[in-house]
Amino acid sequence: MAVRKRGYGLDGDIWRSLINLLPFEDLTIFGLSLSWPVYLVLPTGALALAWKIFWDVADKTATTKTLTTPPLATKAGQNRTHDKLDDVSGQIAQLREEMLAAAEKDGRPAPDAESFVDAYLALIEDDRGAFAPARQEAIAALDALKENNTVDALAEFERATMAFENSLAQRAAMRADMAREDAEDYRRLGRLTYVSAPLRSLGAYREAAKLDTSDIWALIYLARLEQTHGDGLNAALSVLKTAGSNAANDRDRS
């Protein structure tokens, strides 16, 4: 490898003369002569390209991991459930025999004992307050199962099911009460805007009818608004048909 001083004549252009003043020399490698700007820029560009490739690969790897890895909370919940299932793995065989005997007696197919227990373990993991009674019964069933008392365990599992069903019914009743209250508020809005803003009144009565159709007179007002400001006569007749089917007496029907 030879190094030679790059020289330009005094009669060269100003730019080349300025370059000649810089303390760099040309580089010759295997007979190929490289000027100093080239052999200084090439390594920098190669380093930048390698850095970009590295970060692209790292970013793609992180994105793939994010998309394919379950949330930590979900994984933790699954691990806890599987650990508890492992705790009663020895008793599940006995439980399976009990369930099989009961199923044969009732003339129905036997459920999968492991899936059966796993469903109640998932209920134990559900920390919503509405299902606290069912959760306590499921814990009692699991404790009985750990003590090899499969008869009591099955009874506790059934009580957990009933408690869960009752919680669902109570929640549905609360939602029904809220729907009735919301319907009454929409009907009030309909009355407030019936004269001054009939389109707003129409929208309010429609929302009320979606939630509750027990108020016959609200349906009558809705039918009037449908005919005059809504979807026309057919829509009005449909509302009146609903009102007629919900009418409690002849006065309402008339």
From residue 193, give the alpha-carbon distance in Å to each of 187, 212, 225: 10, 19, 12
Decide if pLDDT at 24 tops 60: no
Q: Which helix (H) or strand (E) holds 2?
A: strand 2-4
Count CA atoms within 13 Å of residue 59 on its CB side: 6
Q: What distance separates the 2 farthest-apart alpha carbons in the chain?
A: 118
Instruction: List the structure tokens of 246.
Output: 């919900």
Decide if pLDDT at 151 tops 60: yes
Write the pLDDT tens digit of every residue in 78-127.
Answer: 444 445 555 666 677 777 777 777 777 777 776 677 788 888 888 888 88
